[in-house]
Chain A
Amino acid sequence: MFVARSIAADHKDLIHDVSYDFHGRRMATCSSDQSVKVWDKSENGEWHCTASWKTHSGSVWRVTWAHPEFGQVLASCSFDRTAAVWEEIVGESNDKQRGLSHWIKRTTLVDSRTSVTDVKFAPKHMGLMLTTCSADGVVRIYEAPDVMNLSQWSLQHEISCKLSCSCISWNPSSSRAHPPMFAVGSDDSNVACGGKVQIYEYNENTRKYGKAETLMTVTDAVHDIAFAPNLGRSFHVLAIATKDVRIFKLVPRKESSSSGPTKFEVQIVAQFDNHNSQVWRVSWNITSTLLASSGDDGCVRLWKANYMYNWKCTGILKGDGSPLTGLSGQPTAMSTVVGSSVQTSQNALNGMSAGRIGKRAPFAPPLRQLTSPKIYQHPAYY
């Protein structure tokens, strides 16, 4: 792993969230400075800020992209008790030339009476739906019935979780076998309040979300949760950031009746306390082969399962307080740092070209300075 480039985000205060768009060509950042910035990646991989605007009257906690099927749409949530939906409009051509884009506010969702702590779009197969959760313990699900008119959002569901909510995650599975489902986490630190992760599931008959499960073993404050892509499996995988990193498997029980919510057998798959204290974020990569977590130890840790489903830490990112040398600079190859007794090989191999197939010319490493077969200990991805 190596730092390919560093981008001066130029926010006037703490950055709280950075979010990639679906294709990884754009990103949005939000900050305590009450603004959101949108960045576009150019052909050569450089990031350019194409929009920056004040979005809220308080710290902006999270920013997230809608699926591109719905156009270029962002949602943000803030300490100012609101969530907002933003849409990019295709501006005048001279704006484009200057590399700027216009974002206009389509709606402000003002139903919460406390800080809105998380905002997430539902999986795209459900249509354009937005979910918020707030410190007052309410999850709200909004829907834009007309995707061409994003100024109209109707509050479809209001689910009271009783505990101050900190995070939500939708189960991305679009399989018909799985009804829409989300998990909500609470950062209430009172252990006596019981399980801090609740699973809600949509019921076709009542047309309401009902609680399917509470993870009773997670009693400490939860700061983040993330469902893994389903990969066509019958069970679901959920990562939780609490006082440690935990990975759970939710296996639907066979006997659950068709009318009531699905009951799950909850199995813990892995638990890591390497962050020493609170864990603040967890997130899966696209195919859920890697889980990243960040915590009080100041590290981002990468976790990976091998083919026998044993989980291990395979990488650590850590701030070292060193000054930044050269912005957006050349990639600094880690192998050159790691390799200890590296010899510069400035000699020809032996001039003879290796035959493609069949008889091979002998391959002589150079005489004067020997290039020896050598393995530099590298990230353990296995």
Chain B
Amino acid sequence: MEEVDVDPPITNIPAVGDGKHMGFAWGPGDILVYETQHKASGTSRSGSSFIHEVRKDEDIYSPILRKLFNESHHIFVGLQTIKEDLPSKTKKPQFVSISKNYRSVIRACMEELQQAAISTKDAEEATRYGNQVSILLATELIWNLCEVLFIDAAPAGSLLLHLLDWVRLHKADVYEKAREVLQSESPAEHKDFWDVVVSYVLQGKLEEARQMLTKQANRQPAAKNMYKLMDSLLSKMPFYNPAGTQTLTEFDVKWRHWHEEVDRCLQDNSFASNHHLELICKILLGDEDTLLECKELLSTWYHFLVTRLLFCHPTVKPTELHYYAQSCLTMFLDLRSAPEALDSILLAAFEFDIHQVIKDCSIALNNWWFVAHLTDLLDHCKLLQSHNLHFGSNLREFLLLEYASGLFTHHSLWQLAVDYFDHCPEFGRVYLELQIERVPLDTERKALKVLRICEQRQMSEQVRSICKIMAMRALRNNRLGSALSWSIRAKDAAFATLISERFLQDYCANGTFSDLDLIDNLGPAMLLSDRLTFLGKYREFHKLYGEKRFSEAAKLLLSLMTAKIAPRSFWMTLLTDALPLLEQKEVIFSAEQTYELMFCLGELTSSMSTTAPGTDRPMQEEDIEQTKVELLRLALARNLAMAIVKEGTIET
């Protein structure tokens, strides 16, 4: 395969001295560059202190092209769902129709750009739109040819008809011109009259040409017979009908008869008195020199090619195309220096060199949209494998990954990219993992959206990471409830413990809980961490107490200590919470429960006394603590007495 070597494009960075060192940093969709000095030079000098944000291409920022990306995404996804096992006969029409859908999207986009170019007042912007239109035109031209040659793969006979349609579609200015001529006062005298007639003939639009000619014939009664003869030649020209019963050989014989008849008319000088009609006659014979005289009207070598085939080789086979294409290109471009990128791409297509087409397009076009979608479609048509066994599907995936990565740099288009990654079996998932975790989580809503995509694909590490980031952010902003729910989602036990601790601290400080809804509805999530379990249970105690379900509350409170759910540091608070229960008129804690409470208090005070002397706690605080313990002891003793009495009394 020929290497097309293109010099890497140079982007000039303003305000950075020529030859000065540059530093850089990769961003998600851009690269930052700045002037610097890497060598440790003794002289400190202050250079320019600018940072420049360099972006890859502007296409994805164009709102009109964004529609191209959005709509082609739907077509792409639809294509991926076509069943592998369908017979190729039923698949082919589907592929052709998908190809046409892609082209419709290009066309719609082109028109919108053209409208925008007209309506804008800014000349620079108009130029930019104009350029985009030109590129899209080229894109559609190439795509259409690929559709005819590769996807539809028309056989000899039909092939020429398809190529004619292709040229007509892309050389449609003749209709505009014709309308102008016909709308004039005297069409036959219009300066462009013959241009239109000849253009019609060159495109094989013979009906239209005949209608035009009648206008001229009416004006020149003397030449009536000559016009009649031309009309008859034009009307008799055979066209192959793929739907008909005629075989290609029969058509060929018929066509040769017609060709000989035209030739006879030229030889016997039937049109000698009218150079316009003589020219048409020569065109009908496919005379090369005559065709080249019409260069202006043909305007491109590929139009020349199709016209030449129409009048010389209407039964051209796909395998012969490259020969004619090459010779037409050489003949047509002899005055111009070298073929342009578009010419070599079309030539490669005529040569059926799919890889060269894709390769040249990748180099010549400034975004991956075109090559990625076309290659994907060709791959579905099983065209890449048959042409090159080594890297068929890799090439498809390579291009799709590039295209999707580009989309990912955009703040809303990244969501489309997800589906493209999903359909890249080799690296799609790992690319998605790398890209999706970089999506800025500006809001909770956006975080949830990203999270859903990760969850659907069982990307557990990304799910955990996103939740952790959100939890950390919420905690930093002191939004404890949000932090807790994110860390539960992340299943991050350590962090849940930490946040539960904060909740408890806040409770100790303020005597109230925030985010009650969340804590009340923890459910099984409570089991994530011991501290979280305690938080949930402790809050349950408060609820029971509030509902005056004292004995249940008491039981729960005690179990928090005896089952070691509560951290030791919190026991004093729990025991203090027991005080009002102990002092109720009714006996709530049984004798046995009271013993257990006493045991807990004992354990707590013994550990307090061992640590207390070392610390320098202010006397006041120690006093308060001491008073609390005294009060508790008293309350416990009284409760125990009451409980024993009650339990010893036989109810009557």
Whole-angstrom distance between the alpha carbons of A5 and B30 in the complex? 11
Evaluate contact between A350 and B176: CB separation under 8 angstroms: yes
In contact, A335 and B131 (Cβ under 8 angstroms): yes
**Which of the residues B58, B345, B365, B473 comes within 8 Å of A333, measured between beta carbons?**
B58
Check A300 for interface membership: any CB of B closer than 8 A.
Answer: yes
B16 and A321 contact, CB distance less than 8 A: yes
Closest to A22 in B: B438
Q: Are B49 and A353 in contact (CB under 8 A)?
A: no
Per-residue CB contact flags for chain A residues 356-367 toward chain B (1 = under 8 Å, else 0) read 111010111111
Task: Give Cα distance in the complex from A292 to B26, angstroms.
Answer: 8
Question: 8 Å CB contacts to B: which residues of A308-348?
Answer: 308, 312-325, 331, 333-336, 338-339, 342-348
In the bound complex, CA of A360 to CA of B476 (Å): 58
Contact B27 A24 (CB under 8 A): yes
Beta-carbon contact of A367 and B173 below 8 Å: yes
Let me know if A286 and B28 touch, CB within 8 A: yes
B14 touches A3 (CB 8 A): yes
Query: A2-B58, A69-B469, A333-B58 are contacts. A319–B24 as well, Cβ < 8 Å?
Result: no
Interface size on A, residues (CB 8 A): 119
Q: Does A378 contact B (CB under 8 A)?
A: yes
A126 in contact (CB, < 8 A): no
Question: For the complex, is A294 an interface residue (Cβ under 8 Å from B)?
Answer: yes
Cβ A318 vs Cβ B10 within 8 A: yes
A18 and B23: CB pair below 8 A?
Answer: yes
Cross-interface CB contact of A364 among B16, B97, B124, B175, cutoff 8 Å: B175
Q: How far is the CA of A315 from the CA of B30 in the complex (A)?
A: 13
Which residues on the A side are within 8 Å of B394 (C-beta)? 307
Contact A285 B170 (CB under 8 A): no
Q: How many residues of B contact A (CB 8 A)?
A: 129
Which of chain A's residues has its CB closest to B123's CB?
A: A344
CB contacts (< 8 Å) of A278 on chain B: these are 38-39
Against A, the Cβ 8 Å flags (1 = close, 0 = not) of B346-384 are: 000000000000010011111010000000000000000
Which residues of A sit under 8 angstroms from B104, Cβ to Cβ? Answer: 354-357, 360
In-complex Cβ contact of A287 among B11, B53, B431 (8 A): B431
C-alpha gap A69/B473 in the complex (Å):
8
Bound CA span A179–B107, Å: 53
Contacts of A381 in B (CB 8 A): 362-363, 368, 402
CB <8 Å contact, A320 and B18: yes
Among candidates B21, B132, B359, B435, residue contacting A382 with C-beta atoms closer than 8 Å = B359
Query: With A and B bound together, what is the CA distance between A334 and B402 in angstroms?
Result: 20
With A298-B19, A299-B22, A324-B15 in contact, is A364–B134 under 8 Å at CB?
Answer: no
Given known pairs A316-B9, A377-B6, A379-B8, the reply for A292 and B24 (CB within 8 Å) is: yes
Query: Which candidate, B114-122, B452-460, B535-543, is the interface stretch facing chain A?
Result: B114-122
Q: Which of A9, A308, A339, A353 contacts B51 (CB 8 A)?
A: A9
Q: Does A70 contact B (CB under 8 A)?
A: yes
Point out the residues of chain A lying under 8 angstroms from B29, CB to CB. 24
Q: Quick one: closest B residue to A72, CB to CB? A: B476
Q: How far is the CA of A184 from the CA of B587 in the complex (A)?
A: 72
Beyond A334-B11, A374-B134, whether A345 also contacts B114 by CB under 8 A is yes
Given A174-B461, A281-B24, A378-B365, also A24-B440 (CB < 8 A): yes
Is the CB–CB distance between B22 and A319 below 8 Å?
A: yes
Q: With A69-B468, A320-B18 as given contacts, are A375 and B138 in contact (CB-CB < 8 Å)?
A: yes
Q: Are the CB atoms of A357 and B100 closer together than 8 Å?
A: yes
Interface centre among A27, A343, A346, A382 (most CB of B within 10 A): A382
Question: In the complex, are the beta carbons of A365 and B137 less than 8 A apart?
Answer: yes
Per the bound structure, the CA–CA distance linking A301 and B7 in Å amounts to 12
Most buried by B among A19, A69, A285, A346: A69
Contacts of A12 in B (CB 8 A): 46, 49
User: How far is A11 from B34 in the complex, measured between Cα atoms in Å?
Assistant: 12
Q: Distance in Å from the Cβ of A96 to the closest Cβ of chain B?
A: 10
B25 and A319 contacting across the interface, CB-CB below 8 Å: no
A312 to B3, CA, bound (A): 12
Contacts of A25 in B (CB 8 A): 440, 442
> A324 to B26, Cβ gap below 8 A?
no
Asked if A268 is at the interface (CB within 8 A of a chain B CB), the reply is no
- Whether B135 is near chain A, meaning CB under 8 Å from some CB there, is yes
Q: Does B161 contact A (CB under 8 A)?
A: no
B17/A315 in contact, CB under 8 A: no
Asked if A235 CB lies within 8 Å of chain B CBs, one says no
A322 CA / B50 CA spacing, docked (Å): 13
* Closest Cβ–Cβ distance, residue A195 to chain B (whole Å): 22
Complex Cα distance A380/B108, Å? 27
Query: B434 to A280, Cβ gap below 8 A?
Result: no
**Contact flag A371-B133 (CB < 8 Å), given A285-B26, A349-B111, A357-B97:** yes
Asked if B21 and A294 sit within 8 Å, CB to CB, the answer is yes
B229 lies within 8 A of chain A by Cβ: no
**Contact call A380/B22, Cβ cutoff below 8 A:** no
> Which residues of the partner chain B approach A287 to less than 8 Å between Cβ atoms?
401, 405, 431, 434-435
Contact with A along B50-88 (1 / 0, CB 8 A): 111111111001000000000000000000000000000
Mark B268-298 against chain A: 1 for CB-CB distance below 8 A, else 0.
Answer: 0000000000000000000000000000000
Take A4-B54, A20-B26, A375-B340 as given contacts and tell me if A15 and B8 are in contact as well, using a CB distance cutoff of 8 Å.
no
Please give, as numbers and ranges, the residues of chain B lying within 8 Å of A318 by CB-CB distance. Answer: 10-13, 18
CB of A136 to closest CB in B, whole Å: 16
Find the A residue at minimum CB distance from B345. A375
Residue of B nearest to A301 (CB): B8
Contact of B477 among A90, A299, A348 (CB under 8 A): A90
What is the distance, in angstroms, from A291's C-beta to the closest C-beta of chain B? Answer: 10
Question: In the bound complex, what is the Cα–Cα distance between A153 and B389 (angstroms)?
Answer: 56
> Would A223 and B440 count as touching, CB distance under 8 A?
no
Complex contacts, A292 vs chain B, CB 8 Å: 24, 26, 31
Find chain A residues with CB under 8 A from B561 CB: none
List the A side residues contacting B20 at CB < 8 Å.
298, 319
Decide if B24 touches A231 in the complex (CB within 8 Å). no
Q: Which of B49, B118, B365 contacts A11 (CB 8 A)?
A: B49
* A284 sits at the interface (CB 8 A): yes
* Chain A, Cβ-Cβ closest to B431: A287
Closest to A355 in B: B104
Q: Given A294-B24, A317-B54, verify A14-B46 contact (CB < 8 Å).
A: yes
The reply to whether A6 and B51 contact each other, CB–CB distance below 8 Å, is yes
23 A-B pairs with C-beta separation under 8 A: A1-B9, A2-B57, A9-B50, A15-B23, A18-B25, A69-B468, A69-B472, A90-B476, A286-B28, A286-B405, A289-B401, A296-B21, A302-B8, A307-B394, A317-B10, A318-B12, A335-B58, A344-B123, A366-B173, A367-B176, A375-B134, A377-B6, A378-B364
Question: Which 7 A-B residue pairs are closest in the complex by CB-CB distance?
Answer: A319-B16, A382-B362, A307-B398, A378-B366, A373-B138, A364-B172, A373-B137
A325-B14, A362-B168, A375-B134 given; 9 more Cβ-contact pairs under 8 Å: A14-B37, A24-B28, A317-B33, A348-B114, A349-B110, A357-B104, A360-B104, A373-B342, A380-B362
